[in-house]
Structure 1
Amino acid sequence: MPRRVLVAYGTKNGSTAQIAETIAAVLRKNGLTVESLPARSVTGDISSYDAVVVGGGLYAGHWRREARRFLRRHRAELAGRPLWLFSSGPLDASASERDIPPVSDVKRAMDRLDVREHVTFGGCLEEGAKGFVAGMIIRSGKGGDFRDFAAIEAWAAWIGAELVERPEEN
């Protein structure tokens, strides 16, 4: 029976959603049954999922609120299944050059839950982004797309291999 995976995400302008969809697509290629949903729309029971990946965009040093709320709301159910976290945010090449530690609210969640791994991917902020601060960043010339989809796909493939090749550990 194929294993079921939930990829939940918190996004403001859609960049983190695109990362989540990429992760979901790679997991599906591994034969897993995957749903990718905005974290705020996951309101019911998640016990039907065998594993969960949760991502949040970083804004002003914090993970998106809906991703944090998802972890709090489903804490008991998440404690019993494999869980991976990702952040999307730096508007430079730093995420491709080195490991970036989780921001404080993600670190707290990692301390409370048995998280397998957290990774930070580069972010994307381009013309048309919502929000006053986003507009200021774009006007200052510091926007752009810093996502490394090869790295995102490799991370997702590693998760998929963990779930498919070592089901006894999951």
Structure 2
Amino acid sequence: MTGTVLVTYGTKNGSTAHIAESIAGTLREHGLTVETMRASSVPFVTRYDAVVVGGGLYAGRWHKDARTFVRRHRHDLAQRPVWFFSSGPLDASASERDIPPVRGVRRAMQELHARGHATFGGCLDDDADGWLARRILHSGSGGDFRDFEAVTAWAAAIAAELKN
């Protein structure tokens, strides 16, 4: 593939954005042209040859911007290779086992014939916004559970598939 890959994401506090940037960086290292953009800022996907969509998980659902992006662009997404990723578990579970996509993401994957999905650990820092985030932090459940080695390996597999 010689075209451009879009890596887009929905995030509240930036953790998913960092994962998206890591994915984009790995794809670039493998010789692909990549653009990274917030899902709410993508006007169209027709100029991209492949798309990676990520969303932070909140109460068992993908971030609203990721859901809206997939719904708005579903017809064009169905015409190109698509991968999904989720971020969110605030524990080591995502590094210990494969966590399947949540129901809404699973449905979108089936509809779009997505090529894959990965769930990565999330990150909730002391400066996170929102009432719920503050409660989680107050309970001692915050921290950074992102595994960037796993993110890199997953992105490298996407690059290999796109280059074949």
Q: What TM-score do the two structures reach when normalised by structure 2? A: 0.98
Q: How many pairs align?
A: 164
Could you say which residue in structure 1 is the equivalent of 2:150?
151
TM-aligned CA deviation for residue 107 of structure 1: 1.2
Could you say which residue in structure 2 is the equivalent of 1:141?
140
TM-aligned CA deviation for residue 101 of structure 1: 1.1
Query: Is 1:27 matched with 2:27?
Result: yes
TM-aligned CA deviation for residue 91 of structure 1: 0.2
TM-aligned CA deviation for residue 19 of structure 1: 0.1
Could you say which residue in structure 1 is the equivalent of 2:76?
77
Could you say which residue in structure 2 is the equivalent of 1:63?
62
Query: Is 1:16 matched with 2:19?
Result: no
TM-aligned CA deviation for residue 46 of structure 1: 1.2
Give the secondary structure class of the aligned counterpart of 2:115. Answer: strand
TM-aligned CA deviation for residue 112 of structure 1: 1.1
Contact 1:2 1:31 in 2 (8 A): no
Give the secondary structure class of the aligned counterpart of 2:117. Answer: strand
Identity percentage of aligned residues: 65
TM-aligned CA deviation for residue 104 of structure 1: 1.2
Give the secondary structure class of the aligned counterpart of 2:7. Answer: strand
TM-aligned CA deviation for residue 110 of structure 1: 1.2
Query: Is 1:89 matched with 2:94?
Result: no
Give the secondary structure class of the aligned counterpart of 1:22. Answer: helix
Q: Distance in 2 between matches of 1:106 and 1:3?
A: 26
Please tell me the residue identity of whatever aligns with 1:131.
Answer: G
Give the secondary structure class of the aligned counterpart of 1:40. Answer: helix
Residue deviations 1:46-98, cap 9 Å, x none?
11111000000000111001001100111111111100000000000000000
TM-aligned CA deviation for residue 2 of structure 1: 2.9
TM-aligned CA deviation for residue 127 of structure 1: 0.2
Q: Distance in 1 between matches of 2:128 and 2:86?
A: 18
Root-mean-square deviation (Å): 0.9
Give the secondary structure class of the aligned counterpart of 1:5. Answer: strand
Could you say which residue in structure 2 is the equivalent of 1:6?
6
Q: Distance in 2 between matches of 1:27 and 1:72?
A: 25
Gap regions ≥5 residues in structure 1: none
Give the secondary structure class of the aligned counterpart of 1:36. Answer: strand
Could you say which residue in structure 1 is the equivalent of 2:50?
51
122-131 or 100-109, which deviates more: 100-109
Give the secondary structure class of the aligned counterpart of 2:52. Answer: strand
TM-aligned CA deviation for residue 103 of structure 1: 0.8
